[in-house]
Amino acid sequence: MTTSENISRTTAEGTLPAAAEAKPRRAAKPIVAVGSSYKKSKPATLVLSYVILVIAVLFSVYPIYYAFLASIRPGNQLVTGNVIDIFIPREITLQNYQEMLVDNRFPTTDRAAGQIKFWRWLGNSVLVASLTAVISMMIALPTALALSRFRFAGRRGLLIGLFVLQSFPGVLFIVPYINILRAMGVYGQWLGLVVAYSAGGIVFTAWNMKGYFDTIPVEIEESAMIDGCNVLQSFLRVLLPLSIPAIAVTIFFNFQRGWTDFFLASVLIPSPDSANTLPVALRRLANDRAVPWGNFAAASMLIMIPSALIFAYVQRFLQSGLTVGGVKG
């Protein structure tokens, strides 16, 4: 017998013939990422892609950069005849920032109302936007929970009604808002603005949170109830922590609603200037003779700081797959 005929493998059950031996391994094929291709992109296509990306970035970033340039130019120069000055400033000054933050004086108007009260307006904006975000979320969370987890008479009609309310343009609610706020005695005050913003934000918040609750398996809450939790405890200890990403993002959007709105704030707070939010107050600094472009640009840079900080904090909650694998199959 040859050597190959005598080869065998001893096991606990006996011997196995050589045919059962492992076959020699083949060379592993290279792993190709999904969507990749061995074909290299053509140079013309690659160049065109980069050109489109550069143009898109310029359209997104340059308006902010242009406002920054206007904020550090001397005087109130919005437009300059020098081509280089459009991209690189020849003179740099912090006068506009000083007038907004420190001097509290507005040199291009004679009106007493033209005096700058930046910190007061900033406080009004922060207060209105923060209360709007918190109140909208506090009212909408129970609504979203009921619509997502319970089945009751009129549920479908309520969902349709919320959807219809969300589709109406906000300008149609101006007159009802004014009548209600006057009856409440808060018309022309920042508190009335909070009421109006919160009423408008509840519908969006409820829909957004209801949709997120639907993605969380109900078995997680049922397991908590088996362990002794009631409905409220399972919501506070289980569902709410899992919903932190959606809550954070929704609060951010509601904050932006109160922070950037101009139209509703200008109608519901016609006077005095000390009760205005920043967008409305800055617009009222202008008159028929002069427009303080430098002050506007400096204020726009300052206004972006709170939103940027909040977004930087919120973006860490933008996670996916929180409930993947949360329930054993």
Q: Which residue has the higher pLDDT, 17 or 174?
A: 174
User: Which pLDDT belongs to residue 13?
Assistant: 46
Give the distance, in angstroms, between the CA of residue 234 and the centroid of all CA atoms in the same chain.
Answer: 28
Residue holding tokens 């140079």? Answer: 43
Is-above-0.95 flag for pTM? Answer: no
Question: Rounded to whole angstroms, how far apart are CA atoms 320 and 178?
Answer: 41
**Secondary structure (DSSP) of 222-268:** HHHHHTT--HHHHIIIIIHHHTHHHHHHHHHHHHHHHHH--HHHHHH
Question: Rounded to whole angstroms, how far apart are CA atoms 210 and 207?
Answer: 5
Lowest pLDDT segment from 8-22, 73-87, 234-248: 8-22
User: Which pLDDT belongs to residue 106?
Assistant: 53
* CATH 1.10.3720.10 location in the chain: 117-278
pLDDT tens, 128-164? Answer: 999 999 999 999 999 898 888 888 888 888 888 888 8
Q: What is the mean pLDDT of residues 240-264?
A: 88
User: Which pLDDT belongs to residue 130?
Assistant: 92
Token code pair at residue 248: 């954070």
Say which CATH architecture domain 117-278 belongs to: Orthogonal Bundle (1.10)
Residue holding tokens 């209600």? Answer: 180
Q: What is the mean pLDDT of residues 323-328?
A: 38
Instruction: With CA atoms as reference, report the closest residue to 203 among 168, 166, 167.
Output: 166
Angle value at C-alpha 271, between 192 and 196, nearest 5 degrees? 20
What number of H helices and E strands is found in the chain?
Answer: 14, 2
Element (H, E) at 15: strand 14-16
pLDDT tens, 56-108? Answer: 998 988 888 888 888 888 877 777 777 777 778 788 888 888 888 876 655 44
**φ/ψ (deg, to 5) at 318:** -80, 75
Confidence of residue 326 (pLDDT cuts 50, 70, 90): very low
CB under 8 Å to 311, separation ≥6 — which residues? 252
